A and B are shown apart, each in its own frame.
Chain A
């Protein structure tokens, strides 16, 4: 792009040294082409920035989604701990009559790909639910 602009500028400068009639036609053509290419270049740059912004937003959304999943996993594990370590459960066990109040589930560590596979298909931007003020993120 820079090379092209330099060439256009050089061509315009060369026009000054040529006949006035030829210079007017050439300069008009190059001015038009240069303006057109400038607009195209700016548009392409904007498209690039937009795509980058979209990619970042998707990345942030995915991170929030993963954080939600981790929090949920944490809550589930905490619930299981509380159920399995409930004092009443130990007393009941000691009486040889085990009956948990709620059947605990056993979530295992799930990879993000596995989560994506298990989760119904959704657009990436749908999972943007932002918890309030996590560290390092301001909004």
Chain B
């Protein structure tokens, strides 16, 4: 019996079967390792690098665009627009896609007004960039002409940007201020109310594909801009125009270093007009001279001179140290106070209290000050608001200069009553005179209307109300004393005193002139050639409706430097114009900005 044939596998040499198992094992191990590596990498990417990768994807696929809020408008009390915002096209170029920069620059320069060299230089410096501005906020005509150039596609474009416009030109420039290209207010209401007027920018988050094409707007992450609120101010455009023209004439005639004027409603403190010279056009800020930005009404300080005298008389009467019928000995024009000898312009012997103010007697005022003493004199200046800011809604207001009572000496008893040794701003001065004109109430001057609609809505924004500020700051005087000061001495100043230039038979005007010497910085003494003259007046004396202050800094032409000569005529014209105007004004706002809107958008 033959043995069974051996199995072919069993007969295969061991060396031939062994490599096959090793090979399959090796391949399996490699595959396993690959899988382990992949799994490890997956865990690494998804786990430990999750935030990093997620951020990277976000950066590549999403981008955020800022939606600029439209600034609110500023309108006067009758709805005339003083400042508002429109959109303009801004032209940009994509240098990385421009094949012939020279041709591009040459064509763009012909339309935009820029020089071809500057555009070419800009394009060459930024040849790898995807965005450079060619010209911003151009007129529609320029934009249309640029579009018609038929420049290569994808090498240029427009972006809409807001442009602040002041349709009244340089009218009320110092009250308004200006808003720069970054939508930031500078000076005036534009700065002080920047938060309200500016609004809140929004944002738009968009998702794009690998080619940069936007696929979707992420509404949940986007934010709608909140447009700025419009402001209704107390300015009356026609009154403002009057004082602007009067100041221009005054600057032309007297050639002063500067001048300013304020028109105020004495009972409420509403500023109807406010102007300062030199001025600027907020539509052309680059052309403004350096000294034009300063609003003299709140930032200039000067010694008030004789315009301060009524306060001392009123305070002495309020303290019952002086009566209306008292007679003041003025010692024929020379009076010694300690080491100092006071002089009057004219020699007076015995003057009534009324005549002390009408004649503007320095000696008479010093005698009255002696009755109340330094402490009451200091309390008088503080009570009428000197030495502190009035709180008007304007930036850059200064406190003035009022030293502590401890720093006053025997000279002060003669100097303070004649308006020296202290410095005030024009706004402080007219606010203090408003206290005399309104029956003894010190009111806070303001530029925003006191009403629930102080800040009115701009198009499509909610109506928001603000708390009305109480206009009365404090009660300074008895009503009878204030009325007597206005209706007698100050009225007589115009009738037969230093303010006769403003006398008018058709209305009873009261006022007070002031002429102060400026300090010579070289010698440290009062200058004989440099003066600040001012005139404050109001009408009608029986029930003052309007108050006007004109201050002229250092008139250099015309041959006079007195308040009654330089400032009074301009003040009189302003007063008459303002009085006619204010009687036509309703106390409430007559026009609301939103009324211009179509009904469905209100």
Contacts and interface: CB of A to CB of B under 8 A. Distances in A.
Interface of A: 67, 71-72, 74-76, 78-79, 82-83, 86-88, 91, 101-103, 105, 107, 118, 120, 123, 125-126, 128-135
A126 B461 contact: no
Contact of A82 (B167, B459, B600): B167
A133 B461 CA distance: 8
12 contacts: A83-B167, A86-B168, A88-B168, A101-B283, A102-B167, A125-B217, A126-B206, A126-B214, A128-B219, A129-B224, A131-B460, A132-B461
Contact of A76 (B86, B281, B597): B86
A67 B283 CA distance: 28
B459 A71 contact: yes
A88 B170 CA distance: 10
Contacts of B597: 74
B283 A102 contact: yes
A129 B167 contact: no
A120 B92 CA distance: 12
A64 B589 CA distance: 32
B73 to A, nearest CB: 9
B221 interface: no
Interface string B140-161: 1100000100000000011000
Contacts of B281: 101
Contacts of A135: 600-601
A50 to B, nearest CB: 12
A139 B170 CA distance: 42
B565 to A, nearest CB: 27
Nearest to B202: A129
Nearest to A123: B214
A132 B227 contact: yes
Interface stretch (B22-30, B77-85, B102-110, B291-299): B77-85
Interface SS majority for chain B: mixed
Given A86-B167, A101-B166, A126 B217 contact: yes
A78 B290 CA distance: 32
Interface in B20-66: none
B227 A131 contact: yes
Contacts of A83: 167
A101 B600 contact: no
B462 A133 contact: yes
B462 A132 contact: yes
Given A123-B214, A132-B227, A101 B84 contact: no
A13 B95 CA distance: 73
A88 B217 contact: no
Given A132-B462, A134-B601, A72 B168 contact: no
B508 interface: no
Contacts of B244: 88
A120 B462 contact: no
Nearest to B593: A78
Contact of A129 (B67, B158, B226): B67
Given A88-B241, A131-B227, A75 B168 contact: no
Contact of B81 (A79, A88, A130, A132): A79
A76 B84 CA distance: 10
Contacts of B171: 86, 88
Contact of A120 (B157, B225, B226): B157
B195 to A, nearest CB: 17
Contacts of A123: 213-214
A74 B84 CA distance: 12
B170 to A, nearest CB: 8
Contact of B226 (A67, A72, A132, A134): A132
Contacts of A67: 601
A133 B602 CA distance: 11
